[in-house]
Amino acid sequence: MDFINMFIDSMPCSIDLSYMERVVILLCVGLCTFKITSLLIKRSNLVRHLKAFPGPPAHWFFGHTLEMKRDGTAFDKSVAWGVRFPFAFPIWFGPFLSILNLHHPDYVKTLLSSTEPKDDIAYRFIKPWIGDGLLVSSGQKWFNHRRLLTPGFHYKILKPYVKTMADCSRLMLDKWEGYSQTNEFFEVFGPVSLMSLDNIMRCAFSNNSNCQNEGETNTYIKAVYELSDLVNMRIRVFPYHSDLIFYLSPHGFRFRRACRVTHRHTEEVIRKRKEALMEEAKPEQTQAKRNLDFLDILLCARDEDDNALSDEVIRAEVDTFMFEGHDTTASSISFLMYSLASHPQHQEICREEILQVLGDKETLDWDDLSKIPYTTMCIKESLRLYPAVPGISRKLTKTMTFIDGRSMPEGSYIGAALYSHHRNSMIWENPKVFDPLRFLPENVSKRHPHAFLPFSAGPRNCIGQNFAMNEMKVVIAQTLRRYQLMADPARPPKVAARLVLCALNGIYIKIKPLQPGATTSLSMKMP
């Protein structure tokens, strides 16, 4: 009691406080002191372990956040830092959080070959939105769900999706007819995102959402955009790492409201499917045969105890797949269109190849997907320059030692900086140049198998990568069959991360209709 009185009496102003009030004040001061001391010890340990990994100088409080500006230059700065600091370097987000950024195949292989869980920072922030689905779950739960969901991406399931993908892309391209007559540049990410959502809804959930006709007034699309922006902002604003501060803020209120919109959307999709399955089960019903899809597999799946998955688990996996399945492919397709619009010579070779395979057909068939090698190389080169997921991060559960003997301890955050990794001049010659011939088999065989990682690698690689590649092939084939693409030289994309790679100023192209039956005259031949 004497100590409490001495502490209170030492305060600059005299306040008449009861005994309990004095105890509460002392406890608060003690907790604050303990928290600050813990953070300082954490920082000291981090600095000590990171001494083996030199990096760009950081501000003592803001870290590198002031240099990673939202003006489209952050990724270029990271690439430049990678030249100065080979293999890996730390990036500080505030005074107490640092992520070791890897950008060399030997280092990235060590990380991605492990089964370390996703980090509990960015992925923790997204969890209220998509739940504990395949993207963020870990351990035995992740392993069990991965095993249950893998049949949903078997080629027999993916094969009938090709026609659906063609239908969705045709609807988008029909809406572009107006642009083809105006000779004006227009932003593509918005309509491509709607097309990609339409496609995922039809393919994975057999649900005709009509979102392409509703446009960006679609409440789900608006909620997804808002959630992406809010999660990205929360990563960058250090005080928002506190759940209490964030959820009491106006941004936290907007986040919860947008989550409710997406959850209602998902629950409605699941409810309608359950009703449809009940109707299909009635013996008196005669309905057209429907292809088995991702949602069917979820609803029919059984866990290790032979129990059906709970509604919460199903919703988490549906939310995860809708987010990962439409936002990432929308980014990839948009940047692919920009890449081909910026390099007309490669666009012409792709068009010639596609028209030759199509013949009199309007769309690619399943068997045609393997007959467009040059187009596939262009897709891969676009993914190299513009990976939809520009970074992957893990939190170590045990010490990780890299190929050169340097190591990081348990609890460290390690990230694979894929944007920088794909532009590493130690691996890629002239890394800024769009050169599809990098992906000729003879050139691929000379590179490290972990040099190109648009879909990650190892046990936690992207389960839907074949779905995504098929969609990109179908959409670009439909597009090049109808239109010539031209880039806007006055508006190059200012590349930034919004959970997926995006352009702060949009991705603008101009299109010109092709004459029916027209053929292209190539200035260069496909090897």
- The residues facing 508 across adjacent strands are 187
Comparing C-alpha atoms, which of 129, 125, 132, 137 is closest to residue 245? 125
Residues recorded for the chain: 527
CB 114 within 8 A of CB 400: yes
Residues 6+ apart with CB under 8 A from 201: 207, 208, 209, 211, 269, 322
Q: Map residue 498 onto helix, strand or coil.
A: strand
Closest CA to 94 of 61, 57, 131, 138: 61
Amino acid at 211: C
3-state SS, residue 259:
helix
**Is 462 labeled as ligand-binding?**
yes
Cα 421 to Cα 12, 81, 235, 482: the distances in Å are 55, 12, 21, 35
Side-chain half-sphere exposure of 414, counting CA atoms within 13 A = 31
Structure tokens at 370: 């393997």
Closest CA to 392 of 109, 59, 133, 83: 109
Cα three-residue angle 106-111-112, rounded to 5 degrees? 95
Give the span between the Cα atoms of 294 and 292, in whole angstroms.
7
Secondary structure class of 395 (helix, strand, coil): strand
**DSSP character for 368?**
G
48: helix, strand or coil? helix
CA distance 348 to 353: 9
The residues, any chain, with a CB within 8 Å of residue 135's CB and separated by 6 or more, are 118, 123, 126, 320, 323, 324
Q: How far is CA 364 from the centre of its chain?
A: 27
**Closest by CA position to 400, among listed 391, 413, 390:** 413
Q: Is the dihedral of CA 243, 245, 251, 253 positive or negative?
A: positive
Question: What's the burial of 339, exposed, middle or buried (CB within 10 Å: 0-12/13-18/19+)?
Answer: buried
And the tokens for 46?
């981090």
- Beta partners for 282? none
Write out the binding residues for heme: 462
Write out the binding residues: 462
